[in-house]
Amino acid sequence: MPLGGYGLTCFILDVNGEKKPNKFGRDVFAFVLTDDGLVTPFGSRAVISKWCRDTGCGNSGNEQCIQNCTNTYVWDAGSNSCTESGNGFGCAGRIIEKGWKMDY
């Protein structure tokens, strides 16, 4: 699926197939295929920040726009976060940035 309308490809990986719980952050994780061919975890602050700079926000040079964009997609903030209030979409980024630990 396109990410944020900017043409990046996002794909979902269910690590145990049809077995339960089939929940983001537990056995389902999101990744992004970047325009340079790299597969990166959705929610990674470094990856998302670069993506925000390279999209419409970056073209405007508006730092507040870049910060708002970043905070929307990273694992520790916004609706896609890997927190109690988030939907878990960004948990792949959290796991990798936290040393491959599911400490949530």
- The one-letter amino acid at 87: N
pTM exceeds 0.85, yes or no: no
Nearest in space to 29 (alpha carbons), one of 102, 103, 88, 104: 88
DSSP one-letter string for 47-66 = HHHHHHHHSHHHHHT-HHHH
pLDDT at 7: 56
For the purposes of burial, counting CB atoms within 10 Å of the CB of 104, is it exposed (0-12), middle (13-18) or buried (19 or more)? middle
Residues 57 and 65 sit within 8 Å (Cβ to Cβ): yes
Q: What is the pLDDT along the chain (104 residues), one digit of tens a residue?
A: 445 545 568 889 999 999 999 999 999 999 988 777 888 888 887 777 777 877 767 667 788 888 888 887 788 877 888 888 889 988 998 998 889 999 88
What residue ranges do the domains of the chain occupy?
A: 2-97
